[in-house]
């Protein structure tokens, strides 16, 4: 109990760490959170019209029993369970996800191009891709790359694909079995069960943020809200807050963006700071919530949009996740669409026009009819500065330099942006990174989720 543990950020990772500390009966800890609420980017917000919105698409699925028990304890019976129904909108058609398994929906000419591309990938011997773009063409061939993988991934990542590494993919991208693809075409069979989130939970009330709001009683007053850190002194082992207050630490669990952490560290070599600035890239995101006064006649969960007929890459029918995401739970009267638009130094977007651009995109893609514009009763915009940590070609080189430097000084940088690893950035991964960091500090056990 003599060792003081400071946690930076009350998102899933920071709260996962705090929850574990409380489980172990450890009391000498504190969270510093810049916002006035718990949850970080997994929080939810109700707009002035009574619609609930998440900060981007979140669903509950898990790789860990600990996380399952964590969710069960917090939500009890206050959740809904859904079978994923996700689709791709392109060529004026709806194609089931994943695209590469369901190309039978495409026009015959496009089917031939996709199949020919896949066959060519089988003929070519050896694997030589050095970046994500090359991996796509090497894995899927020209047709699938051209129609979906290239345009959609640029829309999501807002980064040229040749600047991205290929080693993050794992369960994030469905690869193909050419025999299976051909059978799906011949037998006219849908193939939609791929992926770990084909079945997911969602809170009955309050959006995703409800999970983390329910952690408030577990925090025992140890959260300092509205407290943004402005300096981390490695020699004194203390943190300085914007209001001038200072706290000392023996161990620090950082869940804030790693590049921002490095900016406030004193002292740190200029070379290391410059390397982090150059090598750690991220994309940002506008979340545009559109509430409509009409009943939704669809069971779809979320939809992908690779074409340039819309600014968004994904739309979630948020009213299908829970009726309580619309005013008074009246899904017989209202529906809600949560639209995500990425931007970065490589892909700009105009914040002043993005809401109207989104509405036009919904019309262009057939999500709403032009005459239904008058039925829109809510427009909600959120600007999420840090949305996706980009797995650039330089990322792992930078992480292998900065993470050991921090660990040697008792600093554990974990979570979606603390670790800067998209591939372990789901909610379950994030909570577990916090839990495992605490176990490593107090009990010396090996961290399983995070590693270099």
- CATH assignment of the domain containing 315: 3.90.660.20
Q: Is residue 338 part of a domain?
A: yes
pLDDT of the residue at 173: 61
Are 385 and 395 in a shared domain? no
Q: How many CB atoms lie within 10 A of CB 237?
A: 17
Q: What is the pLDDT of residue 177?
A: 73
Q: Please indicate, yes or no, whether residues 272 and 399 belong to a single structural domain of this protein.
A: yes
371 and 314 together in one domain:
yes
Tell me, yes or no, whether 398 and 277 share the same domain. yes
If asked whether residues 179 and 219 sit together in one domain, one would say no
Distance CA 334, CA 294 (A): 5
Q: Distance between CA atoms of 143 and 149, rounded to whole angstroms? A: 9
Pinpoint the alpha helices (H) of 388-426. 395-407
71 lies in some domain: no
- What's residue 390's pLDDT? 97
Q: Is residue 452 part of a domain?
A: no
Flag whether 180 is in a domain: yes
Cβ proximity of 336 and 291 under 8 Å? yes
Q: How far apart are CA 246 and CA 394, in angstroms?
A: 35
> Is residue 300 domain-shared with residue 274, that is, in the same domain?
no
Q: Is residue 430 part of a domain?
A: yes
Question: What CATH number is attached to the domain comprising 404?
Answer: 3.50.50.60
Residues 274 and 291 in one domain: no
Q: Confirm whether 451 is domain-assigned.
A: no
| One domain, residues 153 and 166 | yes
Per-residue pLDDT of the chain (452 residues; tens, 9 = 90+): 789 999 999 999 999 999 999 999 999 999 999 999 999 999 999 999 999 999 988 888 888 999 999 999 999 999 999 988 899 999 999 999 989 889 999 999 999 999 999 989 888 766 789 999 999 999 899 999 999 999 999 999 999 999 999 988 855 566 677 777 788 787 777 776 655 557 899 999 999 999 999 999 999 899 999 999 999 999 999 999 999 999 999 999 999 999 999 999 999 989 999 999 999 999 999 999 999 999 999 999 999 999 999 999 999 999 999 999 999 999 999 999 999 999 999 999 899 999 999 999 999 999 999 999 999 999 999 999 999 999 999 999 999 999 999 999 999 999 999 999 999 999 999 999 999 999 999 999 999 999 98
Task: Judge if 323 and 363 occupy the same domain.
Answer: yes
What is the residue range of 131's domain? 97-186
Domain count, the chain: 3
In a domain, 448, yes or no: no
For residues 363 and 427, membership in a common domain is answered with no
Q: Determine if residue 307 is left, alpha or beta; phi over 0 gives left, psi from -120 to 50 gives alpha, anything else beta.
A: beta
| Helix runs in 192-288, H state only | 209-213, 258-264, 270-279
Indicate if 136 and 153 belong to the same structural domain. yes
Same domain, 271 and 395: yes
| Strand 302-304 with 86-90, pairing | parallel
Q: What is the predicted pLDDT for the residue at 196?
A: 57
Q: Is residue 191 part of a domain?
A: no
């Amino acid at each position: 109990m003599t060792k003081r543990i400071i946690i930076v950020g009350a998102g899933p990772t920071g709260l996962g760490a705090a929850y574990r500390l409380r489980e172990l009966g450890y009391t000498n800890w504190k969270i510093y959170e810049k916002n006035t609420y718990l949850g970080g980017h997994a929080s939810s917000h109700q707009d002035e019209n009574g619609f609930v919105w998440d900060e981007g698409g979140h669903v509950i699925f898990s790789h860990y029993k600990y996380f399952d028990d964590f969710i069960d304890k917090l939500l009890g019976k206050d959740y809904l369970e859904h079978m994923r129904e996700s689709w791709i909108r392109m060529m004026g058609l709806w194609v089931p996800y994943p695209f590469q398994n369901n190309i039978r929906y495409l026009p015959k000419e496009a089917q031939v191009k996709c199949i020919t591309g896949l066959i060519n990938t089988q003929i070519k011997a050896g694997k030589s891709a050095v970046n994500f773009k090359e991996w796509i063409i090497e894995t899927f061939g020209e047709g699938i790359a051209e129609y979906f993988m290239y345009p959609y991934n640029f829309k999501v990542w807002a980064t040229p694909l040749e600047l991205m590494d290929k080693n993050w993919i794992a369960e994030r991208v469905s690869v193909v079995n050419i025999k299976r693809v051909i059978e799906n075409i011949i037998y006219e069979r849908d193939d939609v069960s791929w992926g770990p989130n084909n079945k997911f939970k969602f809170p009955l009330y309050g959006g995703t943020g409800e999970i983390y709001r329910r952690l408030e009683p577990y925090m025992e007053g140890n959260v300092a809200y509205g407290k943004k850190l402005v300096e981390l002194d490695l020699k004194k082992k203390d943190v300085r807050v914007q209001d001038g207050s200072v706290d000392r630490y023996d161990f620090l669990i950082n869940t804030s963006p790693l590049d921002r952490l490095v900016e406030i560290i004193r002292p740190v070599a200029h070379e290391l700071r410059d390397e982090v600035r150059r090598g750690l890239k991220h994309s940002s995101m506008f979340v545009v919530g559109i509430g409509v006064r009409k009943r939704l006649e669809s069971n779809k969960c979320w939809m992908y949009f690779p074409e340039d007929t819309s600014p968004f890459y994904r739309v979630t029918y948020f009213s299908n996740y829970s009726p309580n995401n619309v005013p008074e739970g009246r899904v017989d009267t209202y529906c809600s669409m949560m639209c995500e638009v990425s931007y970065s130094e490589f892909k700009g977007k105009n914040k002043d026009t993005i809401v109207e651009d989104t509405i036009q995109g919904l019309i262009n893609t057939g999500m709403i009819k032009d005459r239904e514009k008058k039925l829109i009763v809510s427009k909600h915009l959120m600007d999420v500065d840090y949305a996706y940590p980009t797995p650039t070609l330089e990322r792992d080189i930078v992480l292998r330099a900065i993470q050991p430097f921090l660990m040697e000084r008792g600093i554990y940088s974990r979570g979606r942006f603390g670790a800067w690893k998209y591939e372990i950035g789901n909610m379950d991964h994030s909570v577990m990174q916090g839990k495992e960091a605490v176990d490593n500090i107090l009990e010396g056990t090996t961290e399983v989720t995070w590693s270099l």
